[in-house]
A = this chain, B = another copy of it.
Amino acid sequence: MAEHSRARSTTKRAPITRETVLAAALELADAEGATALTMRKLADRLGVEAMSIYYHVPNKEAILTGLVDLVFAEIELPTAEHGWRPAMRDRAVSTRTVLVRHRWAIGLMDSRRDPGLATLRHHDAVIGAFRAGGFSIAGAAHAFSALDSYIYGFVLQELSLPFESSEELTEVAEGIVTEMPTGEFPHLTEMAVGHALLPGYSYANEFEIGLDLILDSLEQRLPLPGWGEKAISR
A: residues with CB less than 8 A from B are 106-107, 109-115, 120-121, 123-125, 127-128, 131, 137-138, 140-142, 145-146, 148-154, 156-157, 159-162, 176, 184-188, 190-191, 194-196, 203, 206, 209-210, 213-214, 216-218, 220-221
Contact = CB atoms under 8 A, between A and B. Distances in A.
B185 A120 contact: yes
B216 A159 contact: no
A160 B110 contact: yes
Contacts of A217: 213-214, 216-217
A138 B210 contact: no
A184 to B, nearest CB: 8
Contacts of A112: 160
A151 to B, nearest CB: 7
A187 to B, nearest CB: 4
A112 B112 CA distance: 20
B210 A141 contact: no
